[in-house]
Structure formats: C-alpha cells, structure tokens
Structure 1
C-alpha cells in the first residue's frame, strides 16, 4: 500500500485566485525590501567585522552584568545575547558576546580577549570561553561583495539554462520565482533579526537550487502537455500540469521539511539560522513554483505547437535535450 499525500487524480483550479496570489507575492516582496531598507539585517561577524565570543557557565546568564563588565573595557559597541537550545544541559548557560571591530586592527588582540575574560570571571567564576571568532572590517566588506556576486551568478546561470532548455518566457518566470524566494528570505531575516552570515548565503544558494528543481519539473511536464493538448487553453493546460505534478511536489517538499524541522528543533543554535533559512526557502519556493512562475508564463504566453521548430528563436534550439 503506497502512501499518498494527495488523491491520485486532482482537479484543483490553481488560477482561480491568480490575481490575489500574484498580488500577495508582490506585496510580500515590497514589504521585505522595505524591512531590509528600514530595519536592516543583523549581520554576523562574517559581514560586520569584529569579534564574537561564545561563553558557557553553570549559572544563569545575567546579561546586564555581562554588558557592564565588558563595556568597562571601552571596546566600543557591544552586543550580548543569551542562547537558548533544548539540547543544552540543565546546568549549561550559553551567551554570545559580539564586540565591534577595533579601529586599526583586523581582530581583537590576545590582551583584549584576556581582559574581557577576566572581567567576566569577576561576574561569573564558572564562565569559560568555548569559541572566539574574529573578522576584520576589510575582509567583511569583501565577503559581502563576494556573497552578492555568488547569488547573482547562480541566478544568471539558471536564467541561461532555462532559456536554452525551454523558451525565454519560462526563463523569466523561473527567475521571477527565484527573486521572490530570495527577497522573502532576506525579508524574514530582517524582520526577525536573525543573524545573517556566510551560512545564510549558503542557505540562499541551496534555496535557489531547490526551487529551480521543482520549477523545472513542472515546466517539463507543461511542455509535454502543450504538445499533447494543442488546442486547449493555456490556463487549463497549466492547471492540468500542476495537478499531475502536485503529488511529487508535496512529497519532495514534505519529506525534506521533516528532516529540516528535526534539525531546527534539535540541531543546536549554531546551525539554526542556516536551517531556518532553508526551511523557509522550501516553503516559499514550493509556493512560487506553483503560483509565481506559472502566472508569469501565463501572462507572457508561450509557443503552443512544439512539433514545429521556430525560425532561429532563442530558447528553443535545445528544447528537446533531456534534463
């Protein structure tokens, strides 16, 4: 007996509220950009430059006392937060201390780290430093530029692939869905002020790859159906295609989410930002594959008779190449 998340045959009208879903996506993208510009991102040490110290103690973290002890060292802006995790022991209390990059220095000196440790030991004798990470301002600026280029290069390569594999309308729809996914992920990080670091960039690239995989599966079935139903209205063919691939879409996303949710709960705070980004990205990526990419293709229109080659049209020369 096979497990089915959806009936073997469905007849859901995914375009019944096309204007509402596409409008909601546009509004969500605008709000995400506004949050990014107005609130900003909580850049991690990779992008902001400075020193991050992870501490562990057997007594509860007194954030006010920790801050007073560190600020007395005159190290500039200091951020202190307590870390919570279900996997911690009952006597394990963890804090994260971030100190801004010092002028003229690529990283905090050993003397500075020792001074901070001595100050915190006076507050909590059981405290110990479990990790110390430092990134200079120059390096952090280069990392931001490289991260942006990495995401843009990945999306550009996907644009070319979809254009050659299908048609330019499909490429525009796929890229619109990817931009939607990336911007909404950055927006939720801005709104919730989750730490944004290199691990998050890796998550964004993972989201781009996962989302385009789902979109290509739907587009490939759509092209087959366009050959088969040459006189059927495009919207009906798209609905049929989405219903035919719905089981695969939900099964793939559902099983992936099961593993991600387990990691999100039990994986620890170190990878929580990375796992949250991928979890959120898969949810919005599945949505965009169904409601964003196809809506864009429907508005632009596509070639209906795939049995006839086009006259040198870009995007159709490699249309018969198997993925």
Structure 2
C-alpha cells in the first residue's frame, strides 16, 4: 500500500505532444503485423487444421534430430516434433491421413512403434477431422465478428461518433497487433488463443471507455482550456488507475505463464501482449485520435450544472484542477 501511495495521482505527462510519434508507431506496428500474417501466416493448431496431436513423455531427453529422421521415414506427411515445456516431454503434430478413422489409428500405431520404449507415457492423443476443423474455424471467425460488432455497437451508442470511431480504431489496432504477435512468434493458434484475442478486445475497450468518460467530464467542466491540454489532463487523471489495473493483471498472467504449464502458455502469453498493447492504445492512440477527428465541445450538452462546484453562475473555468 505504501508503494501505491507513492504513485503520482496527476503526473502531468504530455501524451498529446507526442501524438505524431504514437501514430507513426501504431501504423508501422499494424502494417508489420498484417505483412507478417499474410507472408508467414498463423501456426494453426489441430483444432483448426485437423490432424493428429500426441503428447508423450520420455525417460531421458530425446534426440530430436534422430527422432525427426525416423518419423520422416514413415511417410505420413508433415510431422512436427518439439519439446513441450520440459526436455522429456514432446509434442507431435501429424498431418491428417487420407481415409477415415482406421487410417488415423494406423498412423498413430506406426508412430508409437517408431518411438518405442523410450516413451514412458502417452499423455494425450487427439484427432480432429477436416470437417470438424473447418467448422471450428468458421465458428471461431463468427464468434470474433459477433463479439467485435457488439462492442462496436455499444461504443457507438454510448459516445459521440468521434469517441466511437476512435475506440473502434484502437480496438482494430489491438486485434491486428495480437494476430501479428501470434504470426511472428508462431505460437500455436487454437481455440484457447482465440479466446485470448476476444479477452484482449474486452480488456482494451474497458480501458478506453474509462479514459473516454473522463474526457467527456473534462469537456463539460473546462470550457476554454485548449483541447490538447484538456485531453492530456483526462489521460493523466486516469493514468494511475490504468497502470495499477494493468500491472496487477500482468502479475497474475506472468505467474500463470511461468507455472501454469505449456497447455495454457500460448493463451497467457497472448494475454500478456494484449494487456500491454491494450493499455498503450487506450492512452496513446484512442485519445489522440479524438483530436484528429475534430472533437468539439459544442457536441456535448451541458449547462451551469456541468461547472465545478463553487463556480459563479455565468463564469467559465479555464485552469487546471
């Protein structure tokens, strides 16, 4: 608690003065993410592309090079092999085999025979057919579109159009940057990581709404303050809350990433990136966008009741709090 009390409530940082740098960085990040996605693509998991997934534990750290060569000789198509959290735990992704369940079981038996006695435990063996993978892909895309549409509708109804458009731009920026993160890192993209993307969208828009509420409050209160100064004031007034929320969330996510195991690591790493980029966009992208979109005080209704307490009727505030 003592550390929290040391944080400045109003740090008076000039975010709007650096808005051009923020915009350039955001555009470059979005373009880089899109470029990586179209060139490299996502590392889709079995959930989406179909195939066979095997997680095995070996008695000793395996010779991955020799194992890859042995599995390649089986001629089962593309087979990827990697350590999964520990040197003795391996994750195998095997392409879907032509035919039905019998052909998939035959492929699994071939792999088991090749791995032989060095495997002490088969932790899981999963098969997702192409039809199921395609259906999951379609359902995932539909869920994402519906969620983002619902968020966009709420923002559009909740705020003036400049606020709504700025929030949607910041939200799109966060989603694109997160997709780029998964494309660059090649972390497996499955249903869990898709859930992380949607969680990031909700987290980001919540941060943005909090800052926008303070912007509207200051617009009604300070009738003559220059717009850049007013937006800076609103950001700084919510900055301690924004940072404390982000830091406490990150502490929990880092603990999950470190101790939660490989199964949820992609999910937690995606959320860690999302919290960082969402906090950035709420402060350094969404609010400066209001200035570019020409937000004016006249669009907000408010009379004498919007003035600070103690302000004489007819007087106008123009200073800081």
TM-score (normalised: structure 1): 0.88
Give 2:301's match in structure 1, choosing from 297, 301, 307: 307
Matched with 2:180 is 187
* Pairing partner for 2:171 from 178, 191, 194: 178
Whole-Å separation in 2 of the counterparts to 1:4 and 1:200: 36
Indicate the residue corresponding to 1:216 in structure 2. Answer: 209
Query: Is it true that 1:110 corresponds to 2:110 in the alignment?
Result: no
Partner of 2:10: 9
- Which structure's residues are more often helix, by fraction? 2
Alignment partner of 1:73: what SS?
coil
2:96 corresponding residue in structure 1: 101
Q: Supply the distance in 2 between the matched residues of 1:227 and 1:107 (Cα, whole angstroms).
A: 70
Q: How does 1:115-134 map to 2 (within 5 A)?
A: 115-121=110-116, 124-134=117-127
Alignment of 1:207 onto 2:200: yes
In structure 2, the residue matched to 1:140 is 133
How many angstroms does 1:302 deviate by?
Answer: 2.4
Please show how residues 70-89 of structure 1 align to structure 2 within 5 Å: 70-85=71-86
What CA RMSD, in Å, does the superposition of the two structures yield over aligned residues?
1.8
1:214-251: CA deviations, max 9, x gaps? Answer: 00000111111111012222211110000000010000
Which 10-residue stretch deviates more, 176-185 or 149-158?
149-158
Give the TM-score normalised by structure 2: 0.89
Q: CA deviation at 1:136?
A: 1.1
Q: Which residue of 2 aligns with 1:160?
A: 153
Q: Distance in 2 between matches of 1:106 and 1:12?
A: 62
Mean Cα deviation higher: 288-297 or 5-14: 5-14
Given that 1:80 and 1:97 are in contact with CA atoms closer than 8 Å, whether structure 2 keeps it comes out as yes
Q: Which residue of 2 aligns with 1:225?
A: 218
Q: How many residues align?
A: 301
Residues 26-55 of structure 1: per-residue CA shift (max 9 Å, x gap): 011001100001111111111111001001
Aligned CA distance change for structure 1 residues 102 and 243 (closer, same or farther; 3 Å): same
Between the aligned partners of 2:187 and 2:257, the Cα distance in structure 1 is 14
Corresponding residue number in structure 1 for 2:319: none
* CA–CA distance in structure 1, aligned partners of residues 178 and 209 of structure 2: 21
